Amino acid sequence: MSGTPHREDTPRTLVAGVGNVFLGDDGFGVECVRALREHQLPPAVEAVDFGVRGVHLAYQLLDGYDTLILVDATARGGAPGSVYLIELGTPGAEASQGAVLDGHHMSPDAVLALLDTLCSGTGAKPPRRTLVIGCEPLSVEEGIGLSGPVAAAVPDAVRWVLDLVQGDETGAARRLVESDDPGTARRETPAPTTTRTHGP
């Protein structure tokens, strides 16, 4: 769902849901964007389900966005359903990009590499800031539908997206500072069998 009309000089944000809905929890990003349709987004914010259409994402970014928020299944070794906030370009994030953005026909890291090439050829500018909101998958085997822990994490991830696009930089910064992984914030959404919660 897009925000209301905005002035041409207003910084634009693209929330991109990526993933393959036929591979179980890999559809996390797509489900999050669908859930965002229940909310009114601020002006100059667009939320789009790209699925595995990574080339389309790269070309859309040529239209000029200040911020890109990628929402994706993200395997980082945490408990299934753990939600992560990663700001690319921060210390410690670069070394993890291969693990963070992987698993699609046209994976987001490949999209960003393609975008750099396209920008070099067209004179367009890539997003000033790129964030990833990811969720630790339980299974990415063939099958439609999210596992229980990952489905339970969707509302949490949606709240993080809303915080970011509504300008809650204080909350986002606090999560980054409190993380034990540089450049990454973690919030674990517990499976139904446990009540333990980590993070704010």
How buried is residue 197: exposed, middle or buried, by Cβ count under 10 Å (0-12/13-18/19+)? exposed
- How far is the C-alpha of 133 from the C-alpha of 15, rounded, in Å? 10
Tell me what pLDDT residue 165 has: 92
Task: Kindly report the average pLDDT of the chain as a whole number.
Answer: 76
Q: In degrees rounded to 5, what are phi and psi of residue 166?
A: -90, 5
What digits encode the pLDDT tens for the residues 171-195? Answer: 555 554 444 454 555 655 433 322 2
Q: What amino acid is encoded at 142 in this protein?
A: E
Contacts of residue 26, defined as CB under 8 A and 6 or more positions apart, other chains included, come to 19, 20, 73, 103, 104, 137, 140
- How far is the C-alpha of 116 from the C-alpha of 123, rounded, in Å? 10
Q: What is the mean pLDDT of residues 127-144?
A: 92
Q: In degrees rounded to 5, what are phi and psi of residue 108?
A: -55, -35
Question: If pLDDT is split at 50, 70 and 90, which confidence band does 61 have?
Answer: confident
Q: In degrees rounded to 5, what are phi and psi of residue 155?
A: -60, -35
Query: What is the pTM assigned to this prediction?
Result: 0.75
